[in-house]
Structure formats: structure tokens, C-alpha cells
Structure 1
Amino acid sequence: MLPFTLKRVYSVRSLFATILAISASTSALPAIANSLKDVSVSPKSTNFLSTIATGNIQNPASSQFARRSLDLAKQIPIDVIGLVVVDLNADSWNALGKSQTTDPISALDKLLTFFGQFPEISIAKDIQPWLGKEMAIAFSANTEDKLELTFTALSPVADGQKFELFLNKLKSLDLPKPTETLYQNVKILEWQLEEESIGDKKPVLSQKKPAITLKSLLSNKQDNAPDTDDQEEDADSEEEPILPSVPDFSLKRFAIAKLPSGVAVISTNRQAIQKMIDTSIETSELRLTPLADHPLFLRSLNNPLWNRSLIAGYGDFKGLGQISELVAADLPETSEIPGFSRAEYIEGLKYTLGQYSSFDLFTWVTPKGIRSQSNSYFSEGRSPLPKDTETRDRLLSYLPSNLYGAITSRNLNRQWQWFVEESKMQPSYKIFVEGLRMITPLIVGSGLDLDIEKDIISWMDGEYAVVVFPSDHSPFKEIGVDLTIGALIRTSNPEAANATLAKLAKFFTGFTEMDENILQLKKRQVGTTLLTSFEFPDNRVAGKTQSIFAYGWRDRQTLMLTLGANTASAFIPIPKPALAESEMFRDAIADMPQPNFGYFYLNANAIAKQVATLGFLLFAPNSDIPPSQDKSSQPVLPAEIQKAIDRLGGAVFVYSETRDRFQSDFFLGLNP
């Protein structure tokens, strides 16, 4: 059994692998970006870059984080997939702590100690004393003799003597004896933790058979009396269970060295350290080109946001493709799921790699909270998008401020048409297009003549908003849930929308004619808005009904949909205060790029309270108090948890596009 210290190394490595995956997946979101051709280029955003050499980077608290990152990049070969750099300078993190000093290393040590009872190596005591003010995590793919994903951490050694003490303590642990290698006069210590199988060419991915198909699953369920031969075949298949391939990130080995430049390196592959030695020794005949000379990396490093960041990252789409090709090797030749066959996956991968060159990620602190931005750069500059002259964000003034979350955007019809066209070149998008077409008949049934593309999506050409909010009129109130959902949709073709609504009403009227105890359609008046309400008998009060869904026109071009007719009062006549007037929402979107493709907004404070209360009810001792409308019966959260929740504000995700990049932004508000 490995000591907990190795589990720590694995945990930290998985953390940064997750960061890279998030950045990569965010960068792959140009799905909606190209569809909306009504967004103009912001002149400010096109002039975003500046050069480090000219000294234009200004942030004294960061202690020149970009310059320090560049020093680490000089030790890293140019062919890495990407890297994440963390500023460990305590002064840079003080803005998070407000009244107290925030130390990221100590915080990480406390977190790991919380999950492990008696760790053999303390990050705070054994690592922090020699660690420099920055640390980089580099990701690379070793393809020389086998396919493998390699993780390498680098940091300047601030105290050489304490670094040697750390190595000595590491040698004293109950681990296999390390192998010592001398490469270009640099000593490398390597610990082999697992025996590697000979001839294994794909250690990163498990060697499992493709997943069983949907058709075979259905046929097995329908076959109640299988033949004897079938039973024998089934028995054989049970001996070797067919499971999907999954990435294997177990830590098989690790190596440590100190480069001639004074930078400590720990890696999952000794060859990766050797390449860094070749890169860092400028006088060596074997010297490799460093990442610091890569123009795409320098573009990201020269972004002023890098120097403001606590965490900054860079990735190469072509390098990222190496990982994707590993996944493709285990995909089935054919698949009943649209876009998931090997050929379709590779086709989509090549298309994506041809569209984008690199991506980066920045996370920094503002007086109001935490900001993050990710950019995916186009391989070639694109034509300026036409200027948008239509009114934007009108629906924000119609939405209630007391909510859990909201999604706002515009022109769903155009977004859908882009998906349809893009799926012809990007097969992985077929799961969205063909999946919707396949599932629609299952939802609406055969008795309803409704084409979701022609009868619904086609007239959704204006702004739209979907809101999740608390309401005393929620249809789920009787089970202790105050959550409900509402939507506002603007359209230039209300006649088409009414035709679709008439189809729905006619279809459900058939149930009413058969039995009024099943479903009733009623007209409800909320303010000046007339609603069509779908209602079921209320089992609590004889003769009464309860509305579960309602629709009506808020104005001539704005359709309103709600779960329950009574919840429509949150939108009518005009919410006081509206979401657009909420200080929490305004803080969240204040620094966001304009124009953009809409907002995905979350009330982190309200959501955290609900989650904490539910967790307390489920897991805390003596938590047999059921949720109730009586707020006094709700559990009281511990002061520490309540204090942490009170610091949370609003969170928002925003996507936008300029001539050279697709951009995603995030903000989380933090109260003093």
C-alpha cells in the first residue's frame, strides 16, 4: 500500500489535470460562438496584448508573475501540450484573505491533512521551506517508445539545504529503493512504484472491449426465453465483462531532480526530466528549443491578465490532439450513438484542430471577488462580425432578482441552425442534433403532430431567458420544495408561436374530454396577462385544481411560460427589484465583455444555503426535522458554515467572440 504522501502527489496531479481539462473543454465551446453573427467586435478587446520586454505589465502585488513564469518556461521543451502556473507568493493571495494573510501552501496542506489522518510528509514543513514563489505543472505526451501522458511540476529552489533534507526524508519512506541516474552531470532519483507490463504500448488507457451497444441491451431485455446456445454465449460474455475504456491515471513511478538553473523538477517520467535538462543547459549540443520561444505561448504570456493572475495556463490544440488520439484508439469502429464512432471522432478532431491554434486560462482576484477568463485562439483571423443594432438584455428587467439561477441568450433558431450545419463537419455535434430529433417523438408521443424544429425552434428568433427561482406558489411546495421554473421568449412571429400553442392545447383537451379527473385546461388572469393553465385535481381540497404549467403573452412579442399559473406573479407586472437592478447581479456582470452571447448566472449564496441546509437535514445528528413552510423549524447551520456562505455572492459565465478568439469569462462574487 502506498504511503499517503504518494496519494497526495496523485491528488495534486489530478487537480491540475482537471484544471487543464476544464480549460480545454471551455475552449471547445465555440459551438454557439460562430452561430451568432450579430455580435460586433469590441475595439478595446482587439488591442489587448502588450509586451513584457517593454515593461508594460503593472501589478506590484504579483511580483512580476509573468517574468517568473517566463523563467520556468525556459526550462520546459517547446513540444509540451500545456502548462498551468500557480503564483505561490503570499502577497498575491492577501486580497482573498481580507483581514488575515492567505497562504496557498498552508491552505493546501490543511486540506490534504483533513483527508489523510497521519501524512508522512507535510507540505508546510517539508516542501514549503525550499519552494520558490511560483510552481508550474507541465503536461506532455511521450510517444517515443509508448503512448503516455506525463505530468511534471517545476519550482525554483529557494533553499538548497532544505531541499536536500526533503530528498533525504523521501528516501527514508517505506518506498522501493530509488534508482539514481546521472544525466549531463545532473542527478535524477526515480522511484518505480508499479511493475510495468512488457510491450504495453498504451498504459494511459485501459485495454477493455468497447461498450455493449444499445441494440444488444434492448434485445437482451426483450428476450425472456433465450435459447441454450444463447445462454452459453451469455455465460462466456459474463466471464469477460465488456466495459468502456477509461483513462488510467494511477501513479506508477516518479522522478526528482534539480536542474542546473536551480529549479526543482518532479515528474511521472524520467525522460521528461532529461528533456528539461537538455532544454535548460544553453551551452549543450543537445539543447532543445524552450517553450519560452514559442510565439503562441508568448502571446498568452504577454496578455496583461497573466501578470494579474494567481493561476495562469496555456495549451496547444495540436498537442491536446495527441491525448484525443489515445482516446480514439479505444473507440468502436461503429456506434449507434451519433458521432461516437472512431472515424467520426477523428474527423471531428481534425476539424477542430484546424480551426484553433492555442488556448489560455487566467484566474485573478478583484475587490469584488474572483475572476477567470479563457481564450481559444483561431488559427486564422476572421472577418469582423456585423454590428448589432438591436436592443439587448431587455429581458433582464422582466426577471425577478430573487432567484437561484438564470440563462439568458438570443436567437435560439440561429444557434440551432449553426449546430445543424456544424454537425456536417463536426460529427461529435450529431449527438445534439440527431439526439433531439430522435427523442422528440418519445416525449410528445404519436398522437401529437409536432415538429420541434419547425413548430418551436423556428420562431424563437429573439431574446430568451430561463429562470429557476423560489416561490411560495411552487407546485412542489407540498413536498417542501419552493423551487419553480419560468421562461420568457421574445419572437418576431407570435402567430407561429400561437399556432404551436394551439396544437398543444388541442392535444391535451382530448384528455379533458375523456376524464376531467385527469387534466383540465383553464384560463387564469394574473395582472393584465391572460394565462392558459394546465391543471390537475387537488387531492387536498375536493373540487379544486392545481396548476402545473401555464403560458401567456406578457406583451405582444414576449411569451411567458411558468410551472404553475400562480408563479407568473413573479414576472407580472414588473418585478421589484428586477434582476437588472440587483447589486449582486450588476457586480457579477460589471467587468464582462460587451457584446456577448448572454449570461449563465447563479446566486451562489442562495444555492449554498439550500445545499448546506439539505446536507444538515440528511447527515447531521438528530436531523429528523422535515422541511417545512415554517422557517423556524428549519435547522440552524453552524456558525463557521454560515459565515462562509455569507461571503458568497453571485456567479456568472459569459461567452463572447472577437476576430481572433472565442472567449469565456467567469466571476464569483465574494463579500467582505
Structure 2
Amino acid sequence: MLQRIALPLLSVLAIVPTAALAQPATLEAPAIPAPAVTKVLPADIAGVLLLNTTKDNWGTLNRFNPLPFELSGPGFLPFLPAGTNFFADVQPWVGEWAAVALMIPQPPAEGQLPNFADSTLTVAPVVDVEGVNAYVAKVRETQGEPPIERQHNGITILEWPAQEAPVLEEPVQEPVPTESPEPLPQEQSPPATNPPQSLSFFSRFLPSSSLPLPLARFLPAQNQQIAVGSEPVEVPVPPTPIPAPPGRAGIAIAVLPGYFATSTSGKAIEQFIDSQAGIKPLAEAAKFQRTLKHPQFSTSLMVGYSNIAAAVQIVPTISLPTPPEGTPPVPLPSGEFYTALLKNLAETYDTLEGFVWVQPEGIRAQSAAYYTTPKLENATELTLNGDGILAKLPASTYMSSSSRNFQKQWSRMVKLYGEEGQSFLDIFRNGIRNATGLDLEEDIISWMDGEFSLFSFPTTQGLFPQALPGFKLGMGLMVQTSDRPAAERMLNRLEESVTTSSGGNVSITRREGSSPLTSWESPMPGKAPQSFFAYRWTDDNTLILTTGSGPMSLLTPEPSQPLANAYIFQTATQSFPRPNEGYFYLNWGATLSFIYTFFPLDDSDASRFIKQGLGMIRSFSASNSATPEKEQSDILLVIAPAK
């Protein structure tokens, strides 16, 4: 659970995708030479995203590419001026790896935010000096105005300041005519009619016909009076506003010996130039050399790296605004909570790494956050039949999110939040207590120490199909526990709370037999009571809860085709490391078909193109694991090969 919380947050701090796997720390020589661009980036950089620019790497996507042209590069680099054609203007002279770097910004004034734009830039190695000079000349020509040109430590920086969107003058409206139409003679007045019954309640909120035009034109026809023999009054139509032309971000470029730099601010390039004096390069940092040893580094489309201690220091801690007067009080974490959380992260982790590459099944991503010191207690445990709960889910499952020992995961999260964050967790604790009378930790989480899975699957029965006949969906929660009596006490207390609060509208039905079933049912007009919630024990330690007894019949005693044996699930998860903390799995194709029943696409060319693209995706899956050295996340998007 901790890695599910920490990794996304750390990824935001690093301004890189959460996608990485790295190997345990070692001082061995790196497996491949460091990219040239990492030799001019400082080792204490807050974060860097390396983008591969070669056809060799990006061409591996062509087996999935439905477009009429081949992919041969990323197609862009951040901060390049608008109008740049990457393939024609940049790829001929750029080196193998370009970098989007976040330098450590200057400390802001008290109460101010750091200016990240002044510390973020793209740096790319140059392999053809004439080519990059031709590109700079083209940028000069296409901007339409001369740049501000200056020297900084012998390097020429060209800068075009940002342009704000112009403020257009508001059109002048003609005054609305105040002349009233000729009144209708009394004898020709139509008989009074009441509005339709469906409007009788809402008619009190409709505008009166005595109001001046144009409000009266919104009235129901039977409430309006039409003048006889008078000329119709033309209601002026407000002029259509002309959209303001968009502004332009600032542009700054510079050619250094062997490198090209671009940003939205010349200050970012100045900071990069200044960093070259006495630089300890990123390429020589031991922690980055660990990143270089990843087996997929050379084939990756992008690589992310962050120094957590540096990244945490530049994240602003801002107090949340005071809620408007009169709104219900909501306990939110104080500013000290965020400070303590960031401090905890910096003390726990030292680096974050990210990789994205192409494998035979589709697009793969991994992320890893390395501990400052080994944490044996956090390592994923190797358990017998560790994924046994997957054999109890049906192969037709739309979505499944499985893991193990939620009790331990919750305890780690509570520890991570510290004392300052308990008010935030109290929102959940109090919500559960107010709704059910149960204590979240003592009554519910305490017995959830085995495998568990939250899942959805197709069914024509149960809560959702009853509420909306076309919504053929069932939800389920399966939990394994070593303390069945505690789970049964929780269920009994929950049933007492539901029957009392429903005023007798919910009845509890128990069906005995080889596999006893408890069903919650509610009366339906003209029908027998319908089950909307049900649970049963499939063995001594496995509890299943579903949205009704009908969906339960598809799960017990066991599904005829379990998810664990389904080809699409195996393809989605077989390349993940084991042991792991469980899987998130989405059957993309089946889920998309379900969505189309409610939101069908039309037959336009654009819709067919979208449908073709989305239809190529077969599944989306993810997994988490941990060793004493790191926490790791894996993601796989399985894609059908292009025809």
C-alpha cells in the first residue's frame, strides 16, 4: 500500500512519468556508456526526463501502429518553438538522447512560489553543427520579430519574451426596444388555460409575461399574448464574440559547444550555463550509474531520474484556503502535515527512476523508489498459493484490483501520514462510524490480513440491473482472513444497523445448505423482494460479498472458467515480477464494449478512427512489489498488432 501512495507522489515531485525498474545499488561499471547529455547535467539535479530520439527505439512501436506512416522518433521535444518539424528540422542534427531537466530553482521570497519556468529547460547533444545553426536561423526567420540577444559567460542567448493574449474590445449592444406591442382587445382574448400538469410545479419559477422582451419569449406559448395588427418586434441578437488569439509562451534558445538548449525563459539557460563551472556531472553519480545498469535502458523510449532529497526541497508547502463561511467544517491536514510528509519521504527514499519501452505484448513501464537504507520489513513476502484468490474470480471479469494483507498496508499508511495527518484519516474513520456505527480499524480492517480483491463482472441480475435494466454489471469483494469470528461479528453488527436504519424496508434472508448464503432484500412493487446485497463463505477463511444473490451464483461454488487461467489475464501479468503485492487488471476490450452500450459512437470517419484505435488495446495491468532495497511498480498496456 505504501508504494501505491509514495510512488505517484514522488513521480510528481520529479516531473517524470512513473515508470521504472532499477537494480540494487552497486559500484560496478555501468552496463552502457552514459548518454552524452548526462555529462553536462549536474548530479544534484532535482529531476530529469531523458527522451530517446532514434528510429531504432521508436520504430519498435510500428508493429502496433495503425497510422499510414512509420514512427521514427518522439515527434517533438519540449520547449522547442512552435512550428518546428522535429523530423525535418531537429532529428538530422540531434544526438541519441535529449533531456528535459528541472534544475533546483532559486529560493523564492517568503510567501511566494518557486519559479519552476526559470529552472526548467531541454538540453540536446549536437552531432551536426551546421544543421543546428540552420535550425536557429529558421527560428529567427519564423518568429517575425528580432530576438533579444545577449551574452552570458561567452554563450549567445536568443530570447523572444512571452506574448499575452490581446484583450478584445467588447461589442456595443444596441438598446433593447421598450415600445410595447398594441394590446389585444378583451373580446379576442383566448380562454385561460392551465399549463400541463408536468409543468404545474415548475410554472411558478417561470418568468412572468409582464416582463419585457426578450425574457417573455421563453414563456410557454399559452401564457403569451400576441398583438393583433402590430408589426413584430425584432429582438436584437447579441453579436457572436470573436475568440481572442492565443498568447505565446516565451522562447529562449542557445547553442553551446556540442549542445543545444531551449526553454521558455532565458534564466533557465543561464542557470544551466552557470552549472558547468566545477560541475560534478550526473553521468558520474553512483546512483545514476545504478540507473544505467537497467537491462532496458538502451531500448527505452524515455527514462526518468530524480534525486528525492533535492526534489522534496523545492516542493512548496502551501496552507489550504479557508473554506467559505457557512460551509460544513471539514477536517483538513494542516500545513505541518505536508512538511512532515515531505520530510518523511526524503528520509525514506533517495532516488526515483522511470523507464518506458516496447515489448512483444505492448508498452511496458516500470518505476522504482530506492530506500535510503534497506528495509527488510517492507519486502514482499513469498507465500504459498499467493494468487489463489484469482482462481475464484470469473474469466469474464471486467476489472480486478487484488492485493494482500490490507491490515498491514493500512498500518503503513497511518505511519506515513504521521500525527499531523491523522485529521485527514479521521474523515474516513468518522464517515464509516456515522454511516454504519462500526469502527473502521477495530471492526473492519483488523481481520483483513489475507488476500483480497475488488472486482466487477457481467451479470443480468442483482442491484445494478434492477435499478437500470441495461446496466448489466455486478460488483464483488473477496477477502481471505485468519480471524473469521471477527469478520462475522462485523457482518452481524452491520445487519443490525441496516435493518434499524431502513425502518423495516430491508429484510435479511438466510439460505442454509452446503454453502449458506445471506441476502439483503428490498420490496419491489408488484414483484417478489429483490436481492441487492449478498455474502457467503466459500471456505473457512474466504468471504465473498456481491451486489445480490444472482451475481453470487456466477461465483460459487467456483466459476466455470477462472480468471487465473484466462489467456488475456495471463498475457497481461506473466511478465511481472514475482512475488508481488497483487495485480490491477482491466479487460479493456470487454469494458469498452460495455461502455459502448451506453455511449455508442456514430458512424463518422472520426468515430471510426477513434474506435479502431481504442479497439487495438486488449488489456491494462499493473503490479507492485518490494525488496529490501526498493519499492517497484510495473505497468503493461497489451496492444494488438496492427493489420
| TM-score category (smaller protein) | 0.7 to 0.9
For residues 251 and 350 of structure 1, the distance between their equivalents in structure 2, rounded to whole angstroms, comes to 38
Q: Percent identity?
A: 29
1:323 aligns with 2:317: no
| 1:419–1:429 Cα contact (<8 Å) kept | no
1:535 aligns with 2:506: no
1:170 is aligned to 139
Q: What number of residue pairs does the alignment pair up?
A: 535
2:431 is aligned to 439
Which structure: greater helix fraction? 1
Distance 1:428 1:371, change over 3 A: farther
1:466 pairs, out of 442, 451, 454, with 454
Residue correspondence of structure 1 range 562-601 to structure 2 within 5 A: 562-601=546-585
Q: Secondary structure at the match of 2:580?
A: coil
For residues 455 and 494 of structure 2, the distance between their equivalents in structure 1, rounded to whole angstroms, comes to 22
1:395 is aligned to 389
For residues 460 and 394 of structure 1, the distance between their equivalents in structure 2, rounded to whole angstroms, comes to 16
For residues 380 and 613 of structure 1, the distance between their equivalents in structure 2, rounded to whole angstroms, comes to 52
Q: Secondary structure at the match of 1:606?
A: helix
Per-residue CA distance 1:290-343 (angstroms, 9 max, x = gap): 22222222221232232231111100112211331x2x1455699976563222
2:300 pairs, out of 279, 297, 309, with 309
CA shift at 1:138, angstroms?
0.7
| 1:334–1:342 Cα contact (<8 Å) kept | no
Q: Secondary structure at the match of 1:544?
A: strand
1:648 is aligned to 617
Per-residue CA distance 1:46-104 (angstroms, 9 max, x = gap): 76869555xx45xxxxxxxxx3x521011212332111111121121222211767425
Distance 1:669 1:349, change over 3 A: same
For residues 146 and 108 of structure 2, the distance between their equivalents in structure 1, rounded to whole angstroms, comes to 25
CA shift at 1:483, angstroms?
1.9
| 1:278–1:288 Cα contact (<8 Å) kept | no
CA shift at 1:108, angstroms?
5.8
For residues 367 and 361 of structure 1, the distance between their equivalents in structure 2, rounded to whole angstroms, comes to 20
1:520 aligns with 2:507: yes
| 1:459–1:497 Cα contact (<8 Å) kept | yes
1:72 aligns with 2:37: yes
Distance 1:49 1:607, change over 3 A: farther
CA RMSD of aligned residues (A): 3.7
For residues 57 and 410 of structure 2, the distance between their equivalents in structure 1, rounded to whole angstroms, comes to 43
1:508 is aligned to 498
Q: Secondary structure at the match of 2:386?
A: coil
Distance 1:186 1:420, change over 3 A: closer
1:485 pairs, out of 456, 475, 486, with 475
For residues 553 and 264 of structure 2, the distance between their equivalents in structure 1, rounded to whole angstroms, comes to 59
For residues 344 and 352 of structure 1, the distance between their equivalents in structure 2, rounded to whole angstroms, comes to 12
Residue correspondence of structure 1 range 238-257 to structure 2 within 5 A: 253-257=250-254
Residue correspondence of structure 1 range 446-465 to structure 2 within 5 A: 449-465=437-453
1:412 pairs, out of 396, 406, 412, with 406
Per-residue CA distance 1:530-587 (angstroms, 9 max, x = gap): 2211122234xx1412211111111221111000110012211222321110111112
Unaligned runs of at least 5 residues, structure 2? 1-7, 165-246
403-412 or 381-390: bigger deviation: 381-390
Distance 1:637 1:559, change over 3 A: farther
1:292 pairs, out of 279, 283, 293, with 283
Distance 1:609 1:616, change over 3 A: same
| 2:64–2:639 Cα contact (<8 Å) kept | no
Distance 1:322 1:442, change over 3 A: same
CA shift at 1:668, angstroms?
1.4
Per-residue CA distance 1:352-397 (angstroms, 9 max, x = gap): 1111111100111111122111111111123465964544111110
Per-residue CA distance 1:147-167 (angstroms, 9 max, x = gap): 321221122334434433332
Q: Secondary structure at the match of 2:446?
A: helix
For residues 24 and 391 of structure 2, the distance between their equivalents in structure 1, rounded to whole angstroms, comes to 32
For residues 24 and 309 of structure 2, the distance between their equivalents in structure 1, rounded to whole angstroms, comes to 26
1:103 aligns with 2:96: no
| 1:75–1:277 Cα contact (<8 Å) kept | no
1:349 pairs, out of 342, 347, 354, with 342
| 1:490–1:557 Cα contact (<8 Å) kept | yes
Distance 1:46 1:77, change over 3 A: closer
For residues 182 and 505 of structure 1, the distance between their equivalents in structure 2, rounded to whole angstroms, comes to 76
Unaligned runs of at least 5 residues, structure 1? 1-16, 30-43, 58-66, 113-118, 196-249, 281-285, 623-635
Distance 1:392 1:429, change over 3 A: farther
| 2:98–2:122 Cα contact (<8 Å) kept | yes
| 2:617–2:640 Cα contact (<8 Å) kept | yes
For residues 450 and 268 of structure 1, the distance between their equivalents in structure 2, rounded to whole angstroms, comes to 54
Q: Secondary structure at the match of 1:307?
A: coil
1:661 aligns with 2:630: yes
1:361 aligns with 2:354: yes
1:670 pairs, out of 624, 639, 642, with 639
Q: Which amino acid aligns with 2:272?
A: M
1:260 aligns with 2:260: no
1:192 is aligned to 161
Q: Secondary structure at the match of 1:172?
A: helix
For residues 139 and 251 of structure 2, the distance between their equivalents in structure 1, rounded to whole angstroms, comes to 12
CA shift at 1:124, angstroms?
4.0
For residues 602 and 520 of structure 1, the distance between their equivalents in structure 2, rounded to whole angstroms, comes to 35
TM (norm. structure 2) is 0.74
| 2:52–2:74 Cα contact (<8 Å) kept | no
CA shift at 1:615, angstroms?
4.3
| 1:27–1:662 Cα contact (<8 Å) kept | no
For residues 393 and 161 of structure 2, the distance between their equivalents in structure 1, rounded to whole angstroms, comes to 59
1:140 pairs, out of 103, 110, 116, with 103
Distance 1:193 1:638, change over 3 A: closer
| 2:515–2:538 Cα contact (<8 Å) kept | yes
| 2:19–2:367 Cα contact (<8 Å) kept | no
For residues 153 and 131 of structure 2, the distance between their equivalents in structure 1, rounded to whole angstroms, comes to 24
Q: Secondary structure at the match of 2:495?
A: helix
2:487 pairs, out of 484, 497, 501, with 497
For residues 104 and 389 of structure 1, the distance between their equivalents in structure 2, rounded to whole angstroms, comes to 44
For residues 104 and 611 of structure 1, the distance between their equivalents in structure 2, rounded to whole angstroms, comes to 34
For residues 457 and 357 of structure 1, the distance between their equivalents in structure 2, rounded to whole angstroms, comes to 31
Residue correspondence of structure 1 range 150-165 to structure 2 within 5 A: 150-165=119-134
Q: Which amino acid aligns with 1:156?
A: P
| 1:422–1:429 Cα contact (<8 Å) kept | no
1:608 aligns with 2:578: no
For residues 536 and 64 of structure 2, the distance between their equivalents in structure 1, rounded to whole angstroms, comes to 51
CA shift at 1:170, angstroms?
2.4
Pick 1 or 2: higher relative contact order, CA cutoff 8 A, min separation 6. Answer: 2
Q: Secondary structure at the match of 1:381?
A: coil
